[in-house]
Structure 1
């Protein structure tokens, strides 16, 4: 459970924004969306490989 302490005189919108940001960082929403639909293992593996290639390309460009 996420607990967001609200400071004295703090706007509720600001506290809600902090809650949403904290919730997004937990990765819970992404995990729920991922379980909504079945993905074939080959598709998941291909997406992981593509992500790794992209990150490697960024790192190589940074080294040059």
Structure 2
């Protein structure tokens, strides 16, 4: 759980900005979206392999360019 305490003489905007950074770094939203629906293990593995291939292709393209 992400929590933020307001510091002395700190505006609400700054506190919210700190909260948003912690929230993103903790990966709360990413995890929520991932768990929004069930993905079968076979489909999950297939997606991971395709993402890995895509990353490798992009890396090769950048090296060759």
TM-score normalised to structure 1 length: 0.70
2:18 maps to 18
Cα RMSD after superposing both structures: 2.0
- Partner residue of 1:62? 62
- How many Å apart are 1:38 and its aligned residue? 1.0
C-alpha distance in 2 between matches for 1:58 and 1:6: 43
1:43-64, Cα deviation, whole Å (9 max, x unpaired): 2111101110111012111211
Q: Which runs of 5+ in 2 are unaligned?
A: none
Q: Distance in 1 between matches of 2:2 and 2:29?
A: 13
TM-score (norm 2): 0.69
How many residue pairs get aligned? The number is 64
Instruction: Give the aligned partner of residue 34 of structure 2.
Output: 34
- Alpha-carbon distance between aligned partners in 1 of 2:4 and 2:62, rounded to the nearest angstrom: 38
Matched position secondary structure for 1:36: coil
